[in-house]
Structure 1
Amino acid sequence: MTLSTDKLLASLRWRYATKKFDPARRISEKTWEAIEESLVLTPSSFGLQPWKFIVVNDPGVRANLSGESWRQPQVTAASHYVVLTARTDLNSTDIDAWMERMVETQGSSHEAVAPYKGVIEGFALAMSHEARHAWNVRQVYIALGQLMATAAMLGIDACPMEGLSAVGYDHILGLEGSGYATVVACALGYRAEDDKVAAMPKARFDRSRVISHI
Structure 2
Amino acid sequence: MEEKVIKRKEILAAFQFRHATKAFDPNKKISDEDFQLILEAARLSPSSCGYEPWKFLVIQKPELREEIRKHAWGAQGQAPTASHFVVILARTMMDVKYDSEYVRNQMINVHGFPPEVFEAIQGRYKTFQEHDLKLLESERTMLDWASKQTYIALANMMTTAALLGIDSCPMEGFDMEKIQEILTREDLLENGRLAVSVMVAFGYRANDPKRPKTRKSIQDIVQWIE
Q: What corresponds to 1:142 in structure 2?
A: 152
The answer on 1:38 being equivalent to 2:41 is: yes
Cα pair 1:103 1:110 within 8 Å, conserved: no
Distance 2:204 2:88 in 1: 20
The answer on 1:188 being equivalent to 2:181 is: no
1:135-192 CA distances to partner (integer Å, 9 max, x unpaired)? 1121122221111111111111000111111111112122384311111100100001
Distance 1:137 1:82 in 2: 15
Distance 2:52 2:81 in 1: 29
1:37-84 CA distances to partner (integer Å, 9 max, x unpaired)? 111111110110112111101111001111111261101100000101
Deviation (angstroms), 1:31: 0.7
The answer on 1:110 being equivalent to 2:129 is: no
Q: What corresponds to 2:143 in structure 1?
A: 133
Letter of the structure 2 residue corresponding to residue 80 of structure 1: H
Q: 1:103 to 1:183 in 2, by over 3 A?
A: closer
Return the TM-score normalized by structure 2: 0.84
Cα pair 2:104 2:118 within 8 Å, conserved: no
Distance 1:122 1:58 in 2: 43
Q: What corresponds to 2:213 in structure 1?
A: 202
Q: What corresponds to 1:97 in structure 2?
A: 105
Identity of aligned residues (%): 36
The answer on 1:65 being equivalent to 2:68 is: yes
Return the TM-score normalized by structure 1: 0.89
SS at match of 1:86: strand
Deviation (angstroms), 1:103: 5.0
Letter of the structure 2 residue corresponding to residue 186 of structure 1: V
Deviation (angstroms), 1:102: 4.0
Distance 1:161 1:185 in 2: 5
The answer on 1:20 being equivalent to 2:28 is: no
Cα pair 1:95 1:117 within 8 Å, conserved: no
SS at match of 1:200: coil
The answer on 1:171 being equivalent to 2:181 is: yes
Letter of the structure 2 residue corresponding to residue 40 of structure 1: R
Q: What corresponds to 1:54 in structure 2?
A: 57
Cα pair 2:108 2:118 within 8 Å, conserved: no
SS at match of 1:187: strand
Letter of the structure 2 residue corresponding to residue 123 of structure 1: F
Distance 2:56 2:63 in 1: 19
Distance 2:53 2:104 in 1: 13
User: Please, what is the CA RMSD of the aligned residues?
Assistant: 2.1
Q: Mean alpha-carbon deviation: is it higher for 93-102 or for 20-29?
A: 93-102
Distance 1:138 1:103 in 2: 21
Structure 2 residue corresponding to 1:74, chosen from 62, 74, 78: 78
